[in-house]
Amino acid sequence: MSESTVTVFVCVSCRRRLGDCDDAFTLPGRDLAEALRSRLQQGGHADVVVTPVDCLAVCKRPCTVALSGADKWTYLIGDLDPQLHVEEIVATALSLGASGNGIVPWRERPASFRKGVIARVPPITAKDDRQIFIPESVES
Ligand code: FES
């Protein structure tokens, strides 16, 4: 695994209710994890890996993913759909991997990222140098 490897953690435990019944639901994160793996194998993106996890603590916003890389900011994104957003998740992961600190420029953020972002968390190695971490969206 290289320094620029990005891990896409996919919650495979989120439930999406079917209708009004609490007992009828799907687990869309499982489909999303499989779709991402399939897409990455086709595209040869060895620097993006998919890791299923049980919960990212945003259970009401399935599907949820966390995008992480060494010495990079981590993004938590929800409201993703396995049929609609695979390409956008891959594009975001590649942008995060290509960036120096993990901040994905606003213009490179797909719609699902802009609408679904829940949190971003600095890398454990972050220094108190806020000039580096001010995102483009709040600069102007
Ligand atoms: S079960 Fe998916 S975030 Fe909690």
Does 140 score more than 50 pLDDT?
Answer: no
More confident residue, 126 or 95: 95
Q: DSSP readout, 106-117?
A: GGG--HHHHHHE
Residue 63, preceding peptide bond in cis (omega within 30° of 0): yes
Cα–ligand 1 centroid distance for 87 (angstroms): 22
pLDDT tens track for 60-86: 999 999 999 999 999 999 999 999 999
- The secondary structure of residue 6, as a DSSP letter, is E
CA distance 96 to 6: 7
CB distance 77 to ligand 1 below 6 Å:
no
Pocket lining: 16 vs ligand 1, CB cutoff 6 Å:
no
Q: Which of 66-75, 101-110, 127-136 has the highest mean pLDDT?
A: 66-75
Give pTM, 2 decimals: 0.87
Give the distance (Å) from ligand 1 centre to CA of residue 12.
7
Query: What percent of the chain clears pLDDT 70, i.e. is strictly above it?
Result: 89
